[in-house]
Amino acid sequence: MDKIKKITIKKSKRKSVTLQCLEDGKLIVRAPIGMSKREIMGIVEEKSAWIERTRQQLEKRRLQEEALTLADSSYFPFLGRDLEVRRTRSKDPVVTVDSEKGHLEIAALDEENAKTALLSFIRQKAKSYLDERTEKWAQKMDLTYNTLRIKDQKTRWGSCSGRRNLNLNARIMLAPPQVIDYLIVHELAHLVHMNHSRAFYGLVASYVPDYLEHQGWLKNHGYLLSWGRN
């Protein structure tokens, strides 16, 4: 509790209390209009262990994100490989992958330009790769979907709508291929079960038996969703 920098209370016409920990150490408490500050702080005290765990997770994520740089000779993940970054200066940013040498070659003026160019490169590569993998898995699972959209979302790796539209985060290209396949199977399975029931995970497991391992990868690498954002 001592490590919470600031507690902001927001009241509205709601029936319950929710807590939100921010990366800057602040805590937002959303509470019903009629609830007193004393009651609110009592709930905050009760949830102190959860708040501390969440704060530590956010701090770990921040450090992981900061450790991932595009400095020359550093390493950056792409499709399951840690590619060695090779930097050159250029007014016109260009990103290429030398698969033979295991190099990620980035020509840009500075770190910010390099990040922008790399994220653009990732989105470009994601379109063709994810289209092909999703179509393959849809055929294997004997399922049809409406459209596939490649996005750059801040908090989600993927989603499936009730209209049978699939969304995949372009940043999944930073994961190993088997994790990408799991994510695709996961979203396709929602075409059958729009929930996370036992039946849903049974369907997923029938195609990806070690899905729990891949779930763990996505959870542990959540910082990749916010990397490079201003």
Do 42 and 137 fall into the same domain? no
Phi-psi region of 167 (alpha: psi -120 to 50; beta: other; left: phi over 0): beta
Q: Is 1 within the bounds of a domain?
A: no
CATH number of residue 192's parent domain = 3.30.2010.10
Do 121 and 173 fall into the same domain? yes
Q: How do residues 162-217 score in pLDDT, each as one tens digit?
A: 999 999 999 999 999 999 999 999 999 999 999 999 999 999 999 999 999 999 99
Give the count of beta carbons closer than 10 Å to the beta carbon of residue 211.
21
Q: Is 111 within the bounds of a domain?
A: yes
Do 101 and 161 fall into the same domain? yes
Do 113 and 194 fall into the same domain? yes
Do 59 and 94 fall into the same domain? no
Dihedral angle computed from the Cα positions of residues 68, 71, 77 and 83, in that order, rounded to the nearest 10 degrees: -160
H/E element, 217: helix 211-220
Query: What is the rounded average pLDDT of the residues 18-26?
Result: 87
Please, are residues 149 and 177 in contact by the beta-carbon 8 Å criterion? no
Q: How do residues 36-88 score in pLDDT, each as one tens digit?
A: 999 999 999 999 999 988 888 888 877 877 778 899 999 999 999 999 999 99
Give residue 1's pLDDT. 53
Q: Is 150 within the bounds of a domain?
A: yes
* Complete edge-to-edge strand list for the sheet that includes strand 94-98: 75-78, 81-88, 103-107, 94-98
In SS3 terms, 148-212 reads as EEEECCCCCCEEECCCCEEEEEHHHHHCCHHHHHHHHHHHHHCCCCCCCCHHHHHHHHHHCCCHH
Looking at 67, 90, 119, which one is the last position of a domain? 67
Q: Which residues contact 150 (CB under 8 A, 6 or more apart)?
A: 123, 126, 127, 130, 167, 168, 169, 170
Query: What is the rounded average pLDDT of the residues 216-227?
Result: 90
Domain span including residue 140: 75-225
Do 63 and 81 fall into the same domain? no
Do 45 and 82 fall into the same domain? no
Give residue 73's pLDDT. 94
Do 170 and 199 fall into the same domain? yes
Give residue 68's pLDDT. 84
Do 137 and 184 fall into the same domain? yes
Q: Is 112 within the bounds of a domain?
A: yes
Q: How do residues 83-117 score in pLDDT, each as one tens digit?
A: 999 999 999 999 999 999 999 999 999 999 999 99
Q: Is 230 within the bounds of a domain?
A: no
pLDDT bucket at 2, cuts 50 / 70 / 90:
low
Q: What is the total count of domains within the chain?
A: 2
Do 203 and 101 fall into the same domain? yes
Looking at 49, 67, 85, which one is the last position of a domain? 67
pLDDT bucket at 143, cuts 50 / 70 / 90:
very high
Do 151 and 210 fall into the same domain? yes
Give residue 230's pLDDT. 63
pTM of the entire predicted model? 0.78
Do 197 and 89 fall into the same domain? yes
